[in-house]
């Protein structure tokens, strides 16, 4: 076999050796990186609370203080020794924390992202131990740092402390009403308080007008509030704000004004 015939085989051999060398370089680089990572220590903690106004219930600097004073040591500890799952569970034990994600970056910084719970209503208890209700129907304690401007709930029907609204059919229906109010800027500004009687029927106090709004059970929410809006837009301007003392929305397809 001539020398010229062997050239393709030599080319294949050189190519194969190149791949082996490249693979070795990659392995060495990975090993070097892993060694550097194992030697790296945590030098900083970056905490970010997502959302807007709800941030006031959770301050970044206060959460940082709790992490560094009540949790396992973090600063100066090898990053591989920092257990992010344990830190996440510690943060989620905070009443106003809905979700928490903790991870380490290649620079040795611990990154913390927090999604707070957002109150949409406040239950007023006769003994003064009020509670907030968040978007998921969970009851939360009040905060000494911030007071949320949300619809107030009073009366005798809802008295179970700590019970999630989703645990009962009535609570779930009430939560649906609260969501509807919270999502609409008009109703969020207009409905100030909800009173619930022993039968579970709702009476609303509103910002505009002196009328007592008889809502009834928390059902047919969209239809009832559409009738109330019609009262404000079509009836109240012509009859005057002092003409009626009560607006009853309980009856289907009609508004009863007294």
pLDDT digits (tens, 9 = 90+) for 158-208: 556 667 899 999 999 999 999 999 999 999 999 999 999 989 999 999 887
Do the Cβ atoms of 124 and 60 come closer than 8 Å?
A: no
Question: pLDDT at residue 150 above 70?
Answer: yes
Question: pLDDT at residue 255 above 50?
Answer: yes
Domains and CATH numbers, the chain: 44-116 (3.10.20), 119-257 (3.40.50.11690)
Question: pLDDT at residue 28 above 50?
Answer: no
Global pTM value: 0.78
Summarised one tens digit per residue, pLDDT across range 33-90 is 444 555 688 889 999 998 765 557 888 999 999 998 998 888 888 888 889 999 999 9
Percentage of the chain modeled with pLDDT above 70: 79
């Amino acid at each position: 076999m001539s020398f010229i015939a062997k050239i393709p085989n030599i080319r294949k051999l050189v190519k194969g050796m190149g791949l082996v060398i490249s693979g070795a370089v990659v392995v060495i680089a990975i090993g070097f990186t892993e060694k550097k990572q194992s030697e790296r220590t945590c030098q900083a903690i970056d905490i970010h609370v997502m959302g807007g106004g709800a941030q006031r219930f959770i301050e970044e600097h206060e959460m940082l203080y709790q992490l560094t004073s009540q949790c396992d040591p973090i600063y100066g500890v090898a990053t591989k020794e920092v257990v992010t799952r344990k830190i996440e569970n510690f943060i989620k034990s905070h009443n106003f924390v809905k979700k928490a994600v903790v991870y380490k970056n290649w620079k040795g910084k611990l990154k913390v992202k927090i999604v707070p719970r957002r109150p949409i209503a406040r239950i007023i208890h006769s003994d003064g131990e009020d509670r907030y209700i968040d978007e998921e129907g969970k009851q939360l304690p009040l905060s000494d740092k911030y007071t949320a401007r949300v619809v107030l709930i009073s009366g005798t029907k809802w008295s179970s402390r700590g019970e999630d609204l989703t645990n009962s059919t009535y609570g779930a229906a009430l939560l649906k009403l609260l969501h509807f109010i919270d999502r609409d800027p008009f109703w969020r500004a207009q409905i100030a308080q909800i009173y619930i009687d022993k039968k579970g029927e709702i009476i609303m106090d509103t910002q505009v007008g002196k009328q007592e709004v008889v809502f009834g059970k928390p059902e047919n929410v969209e239809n009832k509030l559409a009738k109330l809006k019609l009262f404000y837009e079509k009836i109240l301007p012509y009859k005057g704000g002092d003409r009626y003392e009560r607006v009853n929305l309980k009856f289907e397809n009609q508004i009863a004004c007294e």
